[in-house]
Structure 1
Amino acid sequence: MKLLTFSTLFPNHERPGHGIFVETRLRHLVASGEVESRVVAPVPWFPLRHARFGSYGRFARVPAAEVRSGIQVLHPRYLLLPKVGMTPAPLLMARAMKPVLRKLIDEGFDFDAIDAHYFYPDGVAAMMLGKYFRKPVVITARGSDITLLPGYKWPGRMIRWAADNAAGVITVCAALREELLALGADPAKVVSLRNGVDLELFRPPLDRAALRKQLQMDGLTLLSVGNLVPVKGHELTIAALTELKEATLLIAGSGPELARLQALADQLQVAGRVRFLGPLPQATLRDYYGAADVMVLSSSREGWANVLLESMACGTPVAASKVWGTPEVVAHTDAGVLMQERSAAGIAAAVRALLAAGPERAATRRYAEGFSWDDTTAGQLRLFRDVIGKAG
């Protein structure tokens, strides 16, 4: 089967961790030997590459093409209008991608189906392209594209249109499937295929004591991983330190909230117990997972939080907020605990409960081993065979 994977959520040389869950799922799918893929990962056009232009400057530095894990990845540009970009984005993206897809077909990659990720604008644009090129489209819903964006009038209307016209829809958790059905999606077309975890990359350390010393960890150490944005709730985890007097918090990630979070730590007089690590490559992140005592995730929204499984695969249990797909990930005491309330006090209580329960790190690793990519890959193969067969 020849698949065109289409999403703005895909890693690139400039942002190697961006949408890495899409790349990981695709990598395992291609490894099955039954799928050949090309990736079109559109990038907003911007004329200047200088760092002073922030994220727009980074867009300009993304290469036009690269090869990742043996897969050819194209990063064609499309126009994204500042401030008003959300409404016309799907149409502008689709128009800019038509010649790109036409060239791929003319050069011999006449794909059988489009494998799109994130409903808006990516999935909507992919659906427009699918109709133009007469190719079936499968769209994967990943979180806020279903839990948040349908609340906006135009995106909501276009998301429903894309779901109605897609040949198939994948959700990364059962909770998102239920939400899609509530939006009117056809149950026969929507399948839940959760993300897996790379059990070879994420594994317990051979010498945890030596690793903790190397990473300067002493005493109870909490780890929080995620972009520094409001939805991740890092401010709640920092505030929980006022109750967890013995704990140190390490935060891995970057984003616009850094200065505000640093100021909050100062205000609460816990700055000496908070370390901002910045963005970390996965191999380095693995070491921090394995060395920490508890991984804390206090998000207000999550489709399927890969960081939870990554931490568990390294033997570290989690304390997580009870949102969307997270209860499906943290479904046993060996995995960790769910917060009874999403607050600083709720985080502190969850951490204490987890420490009191004391799951063995080996048991946490065994729990994570039940989330390999094998079942998800098999589910994708079944779906794409069916979709392509019906289209043929």
Structure 2
Amino acid sequence: MDAARTIRILSFSSLYPNAAQPRHGVFVEERLRHLVASGGVSVTVTVLAPVPWFPWTHPRFGHYARFAAVPSEEFRQGIRVLHPRYPVLPKIGMSVAPWLMARALLPVLRKLASREGGFDLIDAHYFYPDGVAAVWLGKQLGKPVVVTARGTDVNWIPQYWLPRQQIRWAASRARGIISVSKALAEHLVNLGVARERITVLRNGVDLDVFRPEPEARTTLRNELGLEGAVVLSVGGLIERKGHHITIDAMRRLESATLLIAGEGPLKAGLLRQVAEAGLSARVRFLGPIAHEHLPRYFSAADVSVLASSREGMPNVVLESLACGTPVVACNAEGVSEVLVEAVAGRVAPSRDAETLASLVAEVLAAPPARDDVRAYALRFGWDETSAGQLKLFQHICDSSETLG
């Protein structure tokens, strides 16, 4: 491909932020935004972010109502984002999800391919169902597909036989495979993917947005009436994020306050746990915090905690470090690829409250200089990842032209 030619990318992911769900899949948007801004090779991008079909927007329908509220088209960060609908079968439709998605979106992709210059490749995120659907669609349209493995799509979903077979099928036919961590790459290898076909490109962090805000250590603490050590836990209120373990650890950290930022179905149960443990004065639920406001909270905290059972490459760890705040995290695969030096924090060898509390206490007793934590985080910007993507995409486009 001529270096001056524009690479036309169709980014395909149901994990993408939208007007009704601004935090949904923000890590996909961030990687794409930095790719476009890199300037290494001219790229144009259209995002196809399918949304489950649901007819009603009334709040009583919970998260399904949010699907109905998503616009059919919007522009985010200067990028055109389309939100076509596809049918879902709650609870029983996991095995047919890729087929339902692909069949519903085939007319949309055909229309995109036939007008406005079309697109050169499909950049799909999350192997199941998105990656499987994207590979099938790419086959129908004669377009190469790159699939990025991001976490539960390859370290949890393959425990189910039929999805595992579909993931293997998609991996064998994708022209490129990206993993956001070495640990996830090993899961792909265990699924039968040749190691040399996998490109490891970790997530990055926006170092201009996530940076220390020293004034927040005074202003935010005053706003919230905080005294003493502050522990921050950011993530959805779901089991695998381990907030229940972090709350249990607070019983052993008697002088600290825990702030939990996030929302999810386990909130009522977590509130009961806090009340029963007598921790209501020291555990606060902040609700969801807008992405651009998170640096204030990371900067105000003394340490952040991630007690997840599974992660690909957790953005909250990178974001915390970029704000100068050390991290204590359970050893959820990609975590240990980030927290490799003591200045960054600690990796808990076991996922239990006692171990977590011990390591948090250790960091609080001898905290690293916040400037040193920030300096450590500078290695995790997006430049290297964007360069790796462009190199892979251009190689695939060059090979496709040769084959054509």
Q: Same fold (TM over 0.5)?
A: yes
* Contact residue 40 and residue 74 of structure 1 kept, 8 A: yes
Q: 1:270 aligns with which of 273, 279, 285?
A: 279
Q: Quick one: distance in 2 between partners of 1:85 and 1:310?
A: 35
User: Is residue 28 from structure 1 mapped to residue 34 from structure 2 by the alignment?
Assistant: yes
Does the 8 Å contact 1:114/1:135 carry over to 2?
Answer: yes
Which residue of the partner structure matches residue 284 of structure 1?
A: 293
Separation in 2, partners of 1:213, 1:268: 26
Partner of 2:374 in structure 1? 365
Separation in 2 of the partners of 1:170 and 1:29? 14
Distance 1:294 1:98, change over 3 A: same
Deviations 1:146-175 (A, max 9, x none): 100111011000001111100010000001
Question: C-alpha displacement at 1:356, in angstroms?
Answer: 3.0
In structure 2, the partner of 1:101 is 109
Measure how far apart 1:67 and its partner are: 0.2
Aligned partner of 2:119 in structure 1 is: 111
Supply the AA of the counterpart residue of 1:2. R
Whether the 8 Å contact between 2:234 and 2:261 is mirrored in structure 1 is yes
Query: What is the one-letter code of the residue matched to 1:106?
Result: S
Quote the offset at 1:104 in angstroms.
1.4
Listed one character per residue, the Cα deviations across residues 82-139 of structure 1 (whole Å, up to 9, x for unaligned) are: 2211111101101111111112123214110000000000000000000000100000
Structure 2, unpaired ranges of 5+: 1-6
Structure 1: where are the runs of 5+ without partners? none
Q: d(CA) in 2 for partners of 1:218 and 1:284?
A: 21
Offset at 1:209?
Answer: 2.6
2:48 is aligned to 40
**Is the counterpart of residue 339 in structure 1 residue 345 in structure 2?**
no
2:152 corresponds to 1:144: yes
Check conservation: 2:214, 2:299, Cα contact below 8 A: no
Q: Provide the C-alpha distance between the structure 1 equivalents of 2:366 and 2:162, rounded to a whole number of angstroms.
A: 47
For the 8 Å contact 2:229–2:364, the answer to whether it is kept is no
In structure 1, give the amino acid aligned to 2:29.
Answer: E
1:14 aligns with 2:23: no
Q: Are the aligned partners of 1:243 and 1:345 in contact in 2 as well (CA < 8 Å)?
A: yes
| 1:241-281 C-alpha deviation (Å, 9 max, x unpaired) | 11111111000000000000000001111111111001110
- TM-score, normalised with respect to structure 1: 0.98
Match of 1:187 in 2: 195
DSSP-derived class of the 2:95 partner: coil
Q: SS of the residue aligned with 2:333?
A: coil
Q: CA deviation at 1:184?
A: 0.5
Length, aligned pairs only: 392
Match of 2:248 in 1: 239
CA distance in 2 between partners of 1:279 and 1:312 (Å): 20
Letter in 2 for 1:285: L
SS at match of 2:284: strand
Where 1:331 maps in the other structure, the secondary structure is: coil
Is the 1:164–1:186 contact (alpha carbons within 8 Å) kept by the matching residues of 2? no
For residues 162-216 of structure 1, the C-alpha deviation after alignment (integer angstroms, 9 at most, x for no partner) is 1110001000000111111111102222010001100010110142333422343
1:242 is paired with a residue of what secondary structure? helix
The answer as to 2:182 corresponding to 1:174 is: yes
Give 3-state SS (helix, strand or coil) of 2:304's partner: strand
Q: Distance in 1 between matches of 2:54 and 2:220?
A: 42
Partner amino acid, structure 1, of 2:326: P
Task: Please give the secondary structure, in 2, of the residue aligned with 1:202.
Answer: coil
Of residues 301, 310, 314 in structure 2, which corresponds to 1:301? 310
Separation in 2, partners of 1:340, 1:177: 21
Write the distance in 2 (CA, Å) between the matches of 1:305 and 1:334: 18
Distance 2:292 2:87 in 1: 34
CA distance in 1, matches of 2:153, 2:291: 25
CA distance in 2 between partners of 1:12 and 1:301 (Å): 25
Between the two proteins, what is the percent identity of the paired residues?
Answer: 54
- Equivalent pair of 1:64/1:74 in contact (CA under 8 Å): yes
Task: Indicate yes or no: 2:391 matched with 1:382.
Answer: yes
- Counterpart of 2:92 in 1: which secondary structure? coil
The letter for the 2-side match of 1:275 is R
Aligned to 1:199: 207
Pairing 1:69-88 to 2, within 5 Å after superposition: 69-88=77-96
Q: 2 CA distance for matches of 1:309 and 1:360?
A: 17
Alignment of 1:212-227 (within 5 A): 212-227=221-236
Q: Shift in Å at residue 390 of structure 1?
A: 1.1
Distance of 1:216 and 1:17 partners within structure 2: 27
* 1:304-334 Cα shifts (integer Å, max 9, x gaps): 1100010111111010001211000111111
Aligned partner (choices 154, 159, 169) of residue 167 of structure 2? 159
Contact 2:241–2:306 (CA under 8 A) maintained in structure 1: yes
Q: Aligned letter for 1:360? A: A
Which shifted more, 290-299 or 101-110?
101-110
Aligned positions of 1:348-363 closer than 5 A: 348-363=357-372
Moved more, 121-130 or 185-194: 185-194
Alpha-carbon distance between aligned partners in 2 of 1:148 and 1:178, rounded to the nearest angstrom: 13
Native 8 Å contact 2:248 2:353 kept in 1: yes
SS across alignment from 1:358: coil
Q: Distance in 2 between matches of 1:109 and 1:89?
A: 30
Distance in 2 (CA, whole Å) between partners of 1:3 and 1:164 is 21
